[in-house]
Amino acid sequence: MKYYTLGAGQNALHVSQCCLGTMTWGEQNTEAEAHAQLSLAVERGVNLIDVAELYPVPPKQSTQGETERIVGSWLKADPSRRAKVVIATKVASRSPGPRLAHIVHTRTYPPGTPPQTELALTRPQILAACEGSLERLGIDCIDLYQLHWPDRSTNMFDTRAYKRSAERPAFTPFDETVGAIGELLAAGKVKQWGISNENAVGVCKLLESCAKLGVQSPVTIQNDFSVLHRRVEEDGTVEACSPVHSAVTPNGILLLAYGALAGGTLSGKYRRDADGSLVTSAKRARHVLFPAFQPRYFSGASIETAEKLCVLAAKYALTPAQLALLWAAGRDYVGSVIIGATSVAQLEENIAAFELPKLTAEQEAEVDAACDRMFTPYYSRVGEYKHIKEV
């Protein structure tokens, strides 16, 4: 397992290139299954564990916060485990509609805080969300605290077309958000901080506020990234995070890549049947259980491109998942690749990818060629497959 450093000084974090994702824990995975994954991952050298106050997904009031609690119960069972892991979690932000409104009421507010009715990255809510996460995790300091998505209205997740009419003028000022993070850093409740689902505009604005307020800069950006979806390379985000513009560390702001397997599509477990329908032999597969969640991952173009990559994986004596993970890990601006598994067997296969040699230049060129034939697969023929059948 390869490791790298986030931040500097006494609060620098020594982090594994493979990060264990957790968003299925408490929904698709039981507490016992999650604990087994944690123990195996740490045994194999993985030390970065990524959670969120929102998790598990799909988000709902009855399960919100369960993932953090599950990680906390694993830590509590053996206190020596805390020193072996780097805990990263996230604070949820403003969301259109009432779908996530319940989260605002699960945060730990100090006495006298005015009533909070809408999620936002305001000072009171960030401080209270951090306290709630600390309580559920059963720890006194979060190693890496991340803003889960922007407070302002901007393109992210399944959105492609930008509409000025959808802009939200009254979003939380960047200075207020950064100032709250600065308080958590100064209080020793957070060691480093990061951002997520951001773009070049957000990166630059946040760095401006850091410089203005004297708050240390974020060290990571967690965005959707895979061989099928390279938006961060195309929209200036990776450049904005470069040490040329963000002298946080010699590495700048590093990418924590989620979605490297496109929700399992790049593992090859979904295939087109003779009648043109999409099928899988996998049990409890995410896209079977929740077809309305992250449909970009199994668009018609994504499935077609994944089939081509399966052929290349066989040529290289790799599993399709290992090829996709090796490709993502090979970018020089990537810190860690987040893996998510619903079984120990999947987890073992995924971790093994980080113990393999890097892809050669020739292999990367072949992978690029296979994907370049299909422009932006995530947004091409979305909805072609309304559901996936188990066979």
* Residue 204: count of CB within 10 angstroms of its CB: 15
Catalytic residue among 3, 4, 55, 258: 55
Q: Between the CA of residue 313 and those of 21, 258, 321, 360, what are the distances in Å?
A: 23, 20, 8, 13
Distance CA 250, CA 228 (A): 28
Distance CA 118, CA 124 (A): 12
* Token pair recorded at residue 218: 């974020």
- 258 catalytic residue (yes or no): no
The Cα angle at residue 19 between residues 107 and 366, in degrees rounded to 5: 135
- Cα dihedral value 217, 160, 379, 95, nearest 10: 70
Edge-first strand order for the sheet with 278-280 is 270-272, 278-280, 388-390
Q: Which of 374, 389, 224 is nearest to 300 (CA)?
A: 374
Helices 123-137/174-186 angle, 10° precision: 40
| Phi, psi for residue 228 in degrees, rounded to 5 | -90, -15
In sequence order, the 6+-apart residues with CB closer than 8 A to the CB of 284 are: 28, 342
Residues involved in catalysis: 55
